Amino acid sequence: MNASQYFQTLRKTLNIDLVARSLKLSEQLSHLNCFVSKFSSPIQKKTAVENLHGIPFAAKDNFCVSNTKTTCCSDVLSDFESPYTATVVQRLLDAGAVLIGKTTLDEFAMGSFGVNVKNEYKARNPWLHSLSDNWLLPGGSSSGSAVCVAAGIVPFAIGSDTGGSIRIPAALCGVVGFKPSYGALSRHGLIALANSLDCPGFLSRTVGGVACAFHHSQGIDTKDQTSIEVESFNDTFNFNDIKIGVSSEFHVKEIPSEAIDTWSKVLSIFETSGSQIIPVALDHTRYTPACYASLCFADVSSNMARYDGFHFGKNSQHHLREQVRGRIQIGNYILKKNNYGKYFLSATKLRRIICNEISEAFGLVDFIVTPIIAKHLRLNDIEDVGYNQLLTFSNDVSTMMFNLNGSPALVLPCGLSDEGLPLGIQIVAAPGKDWKLLAVAAWLENKLNFSYSNIDSEISLILSNNK
């Protein structure tokens, strides 16, 4: 199916007002805490073209929308109203999509669990949902976007990904999460975390959903000098003769056994279909967390300096949560004159080594398939895990390294664990090969035939109990 037509086919098949349905569901499922704000009069462009006409979506609350609050779930920006709209949001509005609200996130997109935020913004994973205070965590930082898609509130949502912030929640909530190549989507209007790592992206229940959203929002933007055009897809691509790269470096001690089984299952599907499974050397993978932390925290300390109470928002000194303050302090330390060469420059050199290894791997293979290492946790488990950055980053090692080199990467739900929770896999392509990645992901999605019947039954039960 043509990517531009995907949601129109959905709308005609359901034959209902999708916007009204989404608004109603957002109210009925408000206890999932996936929205910072919902618009009683959804934002739409009445003169838009037909392709996405009447299709509702949500945007993470670090994307600016004109004349509405953009808070990043922080008290620092609690009163900030943006004078302009982010390019990725505007292009979707221009195509006819309807914005129904802004979704929750870890404060300033800093977090991997969705809990580094005030209680009313802590999104709840709808899988095995419980109204108790020990709910399943959705992952972060695009927690609200993942939850509202998993719960069926909207067909797709916008997120941002700096080291796995779309892909980790997608895996834990059982949806498709797509981080395009760096620059494929404009960063104009995305409140920066780490400029050289940030990527807007999409979450949906299907590959067709993220592909359609990407189709209508990709391309050069004069307001973002890092924006690029990606290659179009070659329809003659042979899905039965794919070279798949596998690195043993992702077989870390933190990985759950079920994640390994899922990884093996997907590789078997490729192999059975005629693909070659080729080992690739990514020898510096284990250094990725240290490299990422040094570069990311340095960017954070620089970007957060603007929140001084005069230029933007309130004085950050008195309104930021512990994890954000900690990253700023570490970043300042890294950028001190005596430490700059030891930490920041060393990290940039290491980044180049990691990027070169990935580039060499893509000289041998079409795609790299990796496991998703992050585990399902409940809220009480965080008391044991805390905000241990090393543990958090080791869980994200398979995702964050592809922010370092700018590759497009997609997480696909593959099945359920023994406990009935979703399990995912990550597929990665070389930078600029976004449409090739989406094509093979759609092919694999068809082979896996993942079902949402379990989560739909849970949502139906919640709705019936709320009547």
Residues identified as active-site? 60, 141, 165
Half-sphere exposure of 206 (CA within 13 A, CB side): 16
At 404, list the tokens: 């370092």
φ and ψ of 166, to 5 deg = -95, -45
Q: Are 236 and 438 in contact (CB under 8 A)?
A: no
What is the distance between the alpha carbons of residues 168 and 157, in angstroms, rounded to a whole number? 15
Q: Which of 403, 405, 421 is nearest to 413 (CA)?
A: 421
- Please tell me the distance from the alpha carbon of residue 69 to that of residue 63, in angstroms, as a whole number: 10
Q: Which of the 8 DSSP states describes residue 231?
A: P
Phi, psi of 423 (to 5 degrees): -125, 135
How far separated are the first and last CA of the chain, in Å rounded? 38
Spatial CA neighbour of 172 closest among 386, 413, 387, 391: 413
* CB environment 272-291: b (16+ within 10 A), e (fewer): eeebeeeebebebbebbbeb
